Amino acid sequence: MSDLKQPQFNPGKGIGTPVGVAILGRGTVGAEVMRFMQEYSFDLENRIGGPLELRGVAVSNVEKHASEVPAELLTTDARALIARDDVDIVVEVIGGIDYPRELILEALKAGKSVVTANKALVAAHSDELAAAADAAGVDLYFEAAVAAAIPVLGPLRRSLAGDRIESVMGIVNGTTNFILDAMDSTGASYDDMLAEATRLGYAEADPTADVGGHDAASKAAILATLAFHTRVTANDVYCEGITHVTAKDIAAAKEAGYTIKLLAICERFTSDDGTEKISARVHPTLIPRDHPLASVSKSFNAIFVEAEAAGRLMFYGNGAGGAPTASAVLGDLVGAARNKVHGGRAPGDSTYANLPIAAFGEVHTRYHVDMEVADRIGVLAEIADLFASCGVSLRTVRQEDNGDTARLIIVTHSAAESDLAAVIIKLKNMAAVKSVNSVIRLESE
Ligand code: HSE
């Protein structure tokens, strides 16, 4: 037997008993959760089996919210609010890592169920948070942490709990999808489209977490943990953002029948030594223009799941924004409240499989290598030999004349990251190679 534990028994408060809720943070998500709790209180009560009652909202600046929230609900003392006996569920929508981590651990230890939208926190500390929830016999829900309104964690945890998931691949960041989609449709530069994303309010004032791929990496860690029953943190995820993707890359991809998307890719595979391993990575990726993920435009998200029995599933929708994120928070809130009323707990993360996480060098994929080379006899053969000497097989080669030099675009067959890395080092040291302009990974169906 593996690490099976005796579950804590939660007998439930009984039908009709109120469920007290504390909300930590009142940004766009917190405000929308409050609006729903107020406007749809009758529906929520009937769906839950008891009324949801808001006990308080913790904010950093009471004055800022005073015109919209009754004074008796507002507090700056989140700890005191969490500790109240009449609070059963804590909703954390503050963001950040250290402070919400402390608050959530306090809440769980005090026997409160927790609903959070905090991907960075869950990706970094899910083991500690899950252990605290298990020890107290309460729920820890975080559907909103990945792709906001799109229900994907619930299906991984419940609907697909009996299947064997082979891979989860998707567009899980709206800001970068907006930028890449706009670059693809207008031919504009990365900087111009980032400015446009900022103007339209998609990108944050500091867009580093989005464009650097870190936001998607946190989501990949959460998806991989649930898909493979193995604890994966953001540090285990290879992460490359979109800041270096140029209009020239997009145009070359388009010409060859591809589009570039920032993908989170979580896979199970058998490594060269025969061991089953998993990997999780985030990077710009060429995908064929007829791939289902290629048509995901603007700031939409989509996640493609492949499982042994279910086959291929695709989840699509709004992956960012106050209301879509609030939708996922509210779903979790209803689930946690039902358990408070009727008893029982939601399924937690099972990490029994504990599969080894592959070193990035072991991951296999295909590559699109764009370089500038001397245009003279024998160069192409030299380059083909170099790829072959590193064990990387070529699939297509395209050449464009460019005066004294030629632009060479090579697409490889599937090869290990370590082998491709060796190719790139050697190319950069080769006299005939003037520059390696870009190396972008490529996925096909
Ligand atoms: N900033 C994220 C995005 C939304 O652009 O998708 C929150 O995860």
Chain centre to alpha carbon of residue 367 = 23
pLDDT at 140 > cutoff 90: yes
| CA nearest ligand 1 atom 8, residue | 320
> Domains in the chain, ordered, with CATH?
19-148+322-342 (3.40.50.720), 162-318 (3.30.360.10), 364-442 (3.30.70.260)
Q: Predicted confidence band at 5 (pLDDT cuts at 50, 70, 90)?
A: low
**Which among 320, 329, 439 has a CA at the least distance from the CA of 387?**
439
**Which among 255, 217, 256 has a CA at the least distance from the CA of 235?**
217
The reported pLDDT for the residue numbered 206 is: 87
Contacts of 249 (CB under 8 A, 6+ apart): 260, 284, 370, 437, 438, 440
The reported pLDDT for the residue numbered 348 is: 79
CA–centroid distance, residue 264 to ligand 1 (Å): 13
Q: Are 268 and 166 in contact (CB under 8 A)?
A: yes
pTM of the model: 0.96
pLDDT at 426 > cutoff 80: yes
CA–centroid distance, residue 210 to ligand 1 (Å): 7
Q: Does 208 count as an annotated binding residue?
A: no
Average pLDDT for 13-35: 97
CA-to-CA distance for 21 and 47, rounded, in angstroms?
A: 16
Phi, psi of 160 (to 5 degrees): -105, 15
Phi, psi of 283 (to 5 degrees): -165, 160
The reported pLDDT for the residue numbered 2 is: 54
The reported pLDDT for the residue numbered 11 is: 87
pLDDT at 190 > cutoff 80: yes
Q: Choose the catalytic residue: 219, 261, 277, 340.
A: 219
The reported pLDDT for the residue numbered 351 is: 95
Mapped to the 3 state alphabet, what secondary structure does the chain carry?
CCCCCCCCCCCCCCCCCCEEEEEECCCHHHHHHHHHHHHCHHHHHHHHCCCEEEEEEECCCHHHHCCCCCHHHEECCHHHHHHCCCCCEEEECCCCCHHHHHHHHHHHHCCCEEEECCHHHHHHHHHHHHHHHHHHCCCEECHHHCCCCCCCHHHHHHHCCCCCEEEEEEECCHHHHHHHHHHHHHCCCHHHHHHHHHHCCCCCCCCHHHHCCHHHHHHHHHHHHHHHCCCCCHHHCEECCCCCCCHHHHHHHHHCCEEEEEEEEEEEEECCCCCEEEEEEEEEEEEECCCHHHHCCCCEEEEEEEECCCEEEEEEEECCCHHHHHHHHHHHHHHHHHHHHHCCCCCCCCCCCCCCECCHHHCEEEEEEEEEEECCCCHHHHHHHHHHHCCCCEEEEEEEEECCEEEEEEEECCEEHHHHHHHHHHHHCCCCEEEEEEEEEECCC
**Which among 310, 285, 302, 248 has a CA at the least distance from the CA of 363?**
285
The reported pLDDT for the residue numbered 231 is: 97
Q: Does 325 count as an annotated binding residue?
A: no
Name the more confident of 371 and 403: 371
Instruction: Convert the pLDDT of each residue in 357-394 to its tens digit.
Output: 999 999 999 999 999 999 999 999 999 999 999 999 99
Average pLDDT, the chain: 95
pLDDT at 98 > cutoff 90: yes
Strand partners, 411: 368, 396
The reported pLDDT for the residue numbered 6 is: 64
**Which among 331, 368, 390, 362 has a CA at the least distance from the CA of 267?**
362
Ligand 1 neighbour 325 (Cβ under 6 A): no
Task: Name the residue of 172, 175, 180, 218 whose CB sits within 8 Å of the most ligand 1 atoms, as the mutation to test its pocket.
Answer: 175
Average pLDDT for 107-113: 98
Instruction: Convert the pLDDT of each residue in 328-347 to its tens digit.
Output: 999 999 999 999 999 999 87
pLDDT at 349 > cutoff 90: no
Q: Predicted confidence band at 7 (pLDDT cuts at 50, 70, 90)?
A: low
Ligand 1 neighbour 173 (Cβ under 6 A): yes
Measuring CA to CA, how many Å separate 389 from each of 62, 67, 363? 66, 70, 19
Ligand 1 neighbour 29 (Cβ under 6 A): no
The reported pLDDT for the residue numbered 272 is: 85
Q: Predicted confidence band at 4 (pLDDT cuts at 50, 70, 90)?
A: low
Q: Predicted confidence band at 353 (pLDDT cuts at 50, 70, 90)?
A: very high
Least confident of 1-5, 12-16, 66-70: 1-5
Q: Does 4 count as an annotated binding residue?
A: no
pLDDT at 237 > cutoff 70: yes
